[in-house]
Amino acid sequence: MEKLVKCKYWKEYLGLNGWVMFCSAGAFDQIFTREEAEKIGCTDRQRAKCHHIMESNLGFGLVPGIKEAIVEEAK
């Protein structure tokens, strides 16, 4: 079966009760900056899609957190 999500953090395998699909970055509570996330395709839209797939298959879903860049004011 072809992977539903093309991402190095997306895991899929056939378990005893059917397919298990999850985001390992979300499962291990990884936090990316917005730029890091965009580089790997982890956009707001893609995270919503991944979350939906996990909720449909597992009953819940965890996606990586996004850390907003802190801009310090020049003094």
Position 2 in a domain: no
Spatial distance between the Cα atoms of 65 and 57, rounded to a whole number of angstroms: 21
Position 47 in a domain: yes
Position 37 in a domain: yes
Position 74 in a domain: no
Residue pLDDT, tens place only, 18-57: 889 999 999 999 999 999 999 999 999 999 999 999 999 8
Position 10 in a domain: no
pLDDT of residue 21: 92
Residue pLDDT, tens place only, 57-66: 889 999 999 9
Task: Say if residue 1's pLDDT is above 80.
Answer: no
pLDDT of residue 74: 55
- In the chain, the largest separation of any two C-alpha atoms, in whole Å, equals 60
Position 6 in a domain: no
Position 26 in a domain: yes
Number of folded domains that form the chain: 1
